[in-house]
Chains A and B, each alone.
Chain A
C-alpha cells in the first residue's frame, strides 16, 4: 500500500519523520545541557558523581539519535547529505569531534590510570555541550538564512565563501547573528532541560545545595535563552524567505516564513504550545519545587523543534537554500531519494513506534527509583 502512495506525499512524510527525529534530539540534548552545568552545580566529588552518573545513563540517547538523524537524511535526502556535509565541511567536522570526545568521557573519567585525568574528560563534556550544540544550532539556522554553495549539472557541490583567501567551508555561518542566536538558544535551552532532568532523576535529599543550584540554573539559563528565542522569532516573522514557484524557480520573498506560519496554522499552534510548555516547565521547577518540569519543557522543546524544522521545508519553500545561486537551492522534492527507496524506508519506519516503545519502557524502568547517594557509592557509577 505504501508503495502506491504519491511521491510527493512520501517526500513530505520523510521530512516530517526527520523533523521528529531532530526534535527528539533537541529534547535529548538535556544530556549536553547537563554536561555544561557540571562545574557550576556540582562542587563536591559526590555531587559530581551523582550528576555524571545520572547523565551517563542517558548519554547514548542523543548520540544515537544524532546518528539516526544523519542516517535518515542520507537515506531520504541524499542530495542534502552530500551538499551540506561535503559543503559546510568544518561545521560538521567540529560537531563530530565534539561528539567523539564525549563518547569516551563518561566511561573513562573516573577509571583509574585514565591517562588524561578526570578534568580533561570533564572539559570534553563541556565542549560537547557548548560548542557542539552551538554549531548544531548554527547549522540548522542555515535552513533559514542560506549557505554559499552551487550545484552543477551532476549535483556536485562547490562551496564558495572566502575570508582572507581561505574558503571557510561553512564556518562563515557563525558570523550571522540569527544563526548564532539559534545556536545560543539551543545551548541554554539544553541547560534548562539538563537541570530539570537532574532534578527529576537524582534523589537530592542528601545534597540540598545541588538541588538549589539546579533550580537556580534552570531559571537563569531560561532567562538567557529567552531573548535569543524572541529575537529569532521576530526575525523569522519578518525575514525574506526562499520561495519555490510552480515551475520550480526559487526566489526571495518578503515575510515568507510568516506567510508559511499563516498557511500552516498547526505549526503556529505548535510553536505557541511549545513556548508555553517550556515556560510552564521552568516555572514549575523554579517556583513550585516540582521535579516534573522536565516533561513539560521537554515536550515544549520537541514542539518548537518540529516547527523550526518544518517551517522552512513546506509550503513551497527551499529548506536548504543557496545564497550564491538560488536555483541550486534544495527542496524536499528535488533533494530526496527515489520513490522506491522512500517507500521501502517508509515500511522500515513502521518500526519506529516499536523502538520508541521499548526506549520509553526501559527509561521508565531504570528511572523508577531515583539515583541515590548510596547507589553511586556502593554500586556502579561514572
Chain B
C-alpha cells in the first residue's frame, strides 16, 4: 500500500499541535476545579467571607482557563474523523465508546453545574452551590478517566479481536478495555499530575502577590491549601509514575528503551539519571548512545521488572531480535505481517466474488499471522523505533521537575505554617522559585505528554496499526491549510487568555472581606 507521507506528517503535526495546546489548559482544569472546591468547602464550613473572596478569585481564573480548554478540546474528538478516518473505522468499534461515555457522563456534569458555579451564588442555596462546584471538579476528572481509557487502549490494545469480514477491530470485553492496566496507571498519573500543576499555579500567583506585598492574607491561605494538595498529589504522581514505567516496560518495551536511550539490552540494567545522547546514533551501529551519562546501577531492571537482576531489552534487541532472550526481530514480524495483509486482500476479493472455498483458505492463512498485520505496513525494521531523543529528553525533564516539586511544596508549607512567608530573605530565593514553578509545572506536563505519545510512534495502535495507515485519504494541502488555521486561531486565543488572566491577577480578589 502507498502512503502519502506528506499528508501523514502534517496530520501528525496537527494532532500534536492541537493536543499540546489543549494540554496547556486541561491539567489546570483538573486540579484547579478541586482547589476551588476545597476553598469553597472551607467557606461553607466556616462561614468566613474571606474564604468566599478567595474562592471567587480562583474561580474567575478557572473560568478563563476552562473556556479555552473547551475551545481547544472539541477539535480533538472530531479530528479522529477528519484526519484519521481509516483509524476511526478500524478501531471505532472500541475507541468510540469511551468518547461517547465521556460526552454523556462527564461533559454534561461539567456543563450543567458550571453555570451554577458561576451564576448561582445568589440563585441557589450555599450548599447546592458547593455541591455544584464539586460536581464540576468530579465531571472534569471523570472526563479524564474516559479519555485516558481511550488513550490507554491505543498504548495497550486489549479486550478486542480483528474481524476480517468487516476489516476492523471489534470489542470483545468492555471491562478489559476499561480496566486496562495502562489506562488505570495513566489516569492516576495524569490526574494527580494535574492536581500538582494546579497547586503550582496557585503557588506561583500567590508568590507574585507576596513579592508585590499585595493580598497577603489570600496569598498565604492559598499557599497552605495548595502546598498540602501539591504534596499529597506529588506522592500519587511518584507512585503512579513508577507504576506507569513498569507497565510501559511490560507492554511497550520499545517505548521504555527509547525514553532511557537503551540500545543494547542488559541484565542488571542501570537507570540513566542524566546524560547527553550522541546525535548521530543509529540502531545497530554499535556506537555508545551517550556522550556523557550518570547511571544509577540496577535501577532500570528494578523499575522495569521489579527485579534487580532482570533483563531489559534495548532498541537493537527489539529491532534485530535476540534469540537468547526469545525476542523476535522486527524483520521477521514484518514478513508475517505482509503475508497477513496479502491473505486478507485475497480473502476480501474472494468474498466479494462469492468464492467461499477460496475465501476460507485465505482466511485460515490470514489467521496464522493476523497479530503481525500492523508490522506489514512498515518499510524497514528501523521504522519501528520512535525518534529516541525526543521522548528521552522529555522523560528526563519530567522526572527531574517531578522530583523538585515536592521539595518546593514542603518548603512552602514549612514557612507558611511558621507564618514567615513574608520574611524579606524569602523574596530572594524561595518566592522567585515559587513564582516560576507554574511555568515549570507546565513544562513537566507537556513533557509527560510527549513521552506518552512520541514514545508510541510509529504506532497509532501499539503494535497493530501504524500511524501512516490510519489517515484519511486526503490531499496534504487540506491538512496544511487547517494546520495554519489552528495555529493562527489557537495562538490568538492563547494570547487573549494570557492577557485576560494577567489582568485578572493584577486586579486581584475582592478586597472588602480580606482587609
Residues on A lying within 8 angstroms of B by beta carbon are: 53, 57-58, 60-61, 63-64, 66-68, 70-76, 78-79, 81-87, 89-90, 92-93, 96-97, 99-104, 106-108, 111-116, 153-159, 167, 169, 337-338, 340-341, 344-345, 348-349, 351-352, 355, 358-359, 362-363, 365-366, 368-369, 375, 379-380
Contact = CB atoms under 8 A, between A and B. Distances in A.
B119 A57 contact: yes
B93 A92 contact: no
26 contacts: A63-B111, A71-B96, A71-B104, A74-B77, A74-B96, A78-B88, A89-B478, A92-B81, A96-B78, A100-B489, A103-B67, A112-B503, A153-B167, A153-B345, A153-B349, A156-B89, A157-B85, A157-B472, A338-B93, A352-B104, A355-B105, A358-B112, A362-B112, A365-B124, A366-B116, A379-B122
Contact of A362 (B99, B116, B482): B116
B61 to A, nearest CB: 11
A103 B104 CA distance: 19
Contacts of B495: 115
For A61, A67, A81, the residue with the greatest tally of chain B CB atoms inside 10 Å of its CB is A67
Interface string B61-80: 00110111011101101101
B100 interface: yes
A253 B59 CA distance: 58
Contact of A113 (B88, B93, B499): B499
B239 interface: no
The bracket for how many chain B residues form the interface is: 35 or more
Contacts of B93: 78, 337-338, 341
Interface stretch (B169-177, B281-289, B290-298): B169-177
B138 to A, nearest CB: 13
B97 A64 contact: no
B496 interface: yes
A58 B116 CA distance: 11
Contact of A82 (B86, B128, B349): B86
A71 B100 contact: yes
A114 B85 contact: no
B416 to A, nearest CB: 30
A31 to B, nearest CB: 12
Nearest to B485: A97
A86 B71 contact: no
A79 B70 CA distance: 26
B296 to A, nearest CB: 44
B404 interface: no
Interface string B407-447: 00000000000000000000000000000000000000000
Contacts of B101: 71, 348
In the A-B complex, the 8 residue pairs with the closest CB atoms: A78-B92, A86-B85, A85-B81, A75-B96, A74-B96, A103-B71, A60-B111, A68-B103
Given A153-B167, A337-B92, A106 B499 contact: no
B100 A75 contact: yes
A84 B88 CA distance: 11
B119 to A, nearest CB: 5
B105 A341 contact: no
A158 B178 CA distance: 33
A63 B97 contact: no
Contacts of A92: 78, 81-82
A101 B71 CA distance: 7
Nearest to A86: B85
Interface of B: 63-64, 66-68, 70-72, 74-75, 77-78, 80-86, 88-89, 92-97, 99-105, 107-108, 110-116, 118-124, 128, 132, 163, 166-168, 170-172, 174, 345, 348-349, 352, 472-475, 478, 482, 485, 489, 492-493, 495-497, 499-500, 502-504, 507
A57 to B, nearest CB: 5
A351 B472 contact: no
Given A78-B92, A104-B68, A157-B473, 14 more contacts: A71-B103, A86-B82, A86-B88, A86-B474, A93-B485, A97-B489, A100-B489, A106-B67, A115-B495, A155-B89, A156-B86, A348-B104, A351-B105, A379-B119
Given A60-B114, A113-B500, A116-B496, A81 B473 contact: no
A71 B77 contact: yes
B78 A359 contact: no
B500 A153 contact: no
B71 A82 contact: no
Nearest to A62: B111
Nearest to A88: B82
Given A64-B107, A81-B88, A96 B474 contact: no
Given A104-B496, A358-B112, A340 B85 contact: no
B342 to A, nearest CB: 13
A158 B64 contact: no
Contacts of B115: 57-58, 60, 362, 366
A359 B81 contact: no
Given A81-B81, A154-B167, A157-B472, A68 B174 contact: no
A82 B123 contact: no
Nearest to B106: A64
Contacts of B123: 365-366, 368-369
Contact of B103 (A64, A82, A338, A375): A64
Contacts of B499: 113-115
Nearest to A91: B82
B500 A115 contact: yes
B453 to A, nearest CB: 20
Given A85-B88, A107-B63, A362-B115, A101 B70 contact: no
A375 B63 CA distance: 19
Nearest to A112: B503
A92 B75 CA distance: 10
A87 B88 contact: no
Contacts of A76: 96, 100
A158 B496 CA distance: 39
B99 A75 contact: yes
A275 to B, nearest CB: 29
A169 B475 CA distance: 10
